Amino acid sequence: MWCERSVENALRRSLVVIALAAHAKPRKMGRRVEESQAYKEAAQALEQSRRLPELIVVDLDYTVWPFWCEMYDEDDQPRLFPEVNAILQACRDKHIPLAVASRTPTPSVATAFLRKLGIDSWFDSTQLIPYTQKDTTHFPRIQKDMGTSFGAMIFFDDESGNIARVSRLGVTSILVSTATGLNTDAFRRGLRQFNS
């Protein structure tokens, strides 16, 4: 009898623990640690650079966020690739200006998403142009807005055709993976190429 009650009580306690665990809020520490590590790596890469760029330019779709914004509505909630926020913040902390160069059929959605993510004010120049224009039209506008020579810029994009065209202007252009977007590996590669 005593043995049966002990087993029964142990089972009840186990069920209570399982029930409490099932209703507990998930911990978000992993994301915060990942972002903190990305910031440290980006800041370290900037510190170790012999020469810093005068401007960092980013594409949006599959570079900053993991989707084409034209597939969404302005009311949707966007998200960034995991390391983007930390990298952009590290650049801001080093007083390196930021710009957006992106072709999109839905500039209002892209603008709304930048605002919702709280990073719209981080960019000193935002060039959202229709698909009908060539990618290189962004850069003369950015150059005019910022007064920065092409050779003093680094551009990150997920499309190899854009990278080839913008490289011909003299901009250090780095292809990013559509799986990760702008991450610390691509960022370091950009700084290395810029300094070579």
What pLDDT sits at residue 32?
A: 56
pLDDT of residue 138: 79
Q: Where are the alpha helices (DSSP H) in 49-196?
A: 84-93, 107-116, 138-146, 160-167, 184-195
Is 145 considered catalytic here?
Answer: no
List Cα–Cα distances, 87 to 4, 23, 90, 147, in angstroms. 59, 35, 5, 23
Catalytic residue from among 61, 135, 157, 158: 61
59, 135, 157, 158: the active-site residue: 59
Q: Distance between CA atoms of 165 and 173, rounded to whole angstroms?
A: 9
Reported as a single tens digit per residue, the pLDDT across 29-59 is 345 546 789 999 999 999 999 999 999 999 9
Write down the pLDDT at residue 123: 97
Q: Which domains does the chain have, with CATH numbers?
A: 30-195 (3.40.50.1000)
State the pLDDT at residue 136.
63
Q: What is the pLDDT of residue 27?
A: 34
Q: Which long-range contacts (CB under 8 A, 24 or more apart) does 65-71 make?
A: 65/113, 65/181, 66/178, 66/181, 69/104, 69/106, 69/109, 69/110, 69/113, 70/104, 70/105, 70/106, 70/109
In the chain (196 residues long), the average pLDDT of successive 10-residue segments reads 44 38 37 76 95 97 95 94 96 96 92 96 92 70 93 96 93 97 96 96
Residue 3 has a pLDDT of 45
pLDDT at 149: 96
d(CA 4, CA 165): 77
The question of whether 135 is a catalytic residue gets the answer: no
pTM of the model: 0.81
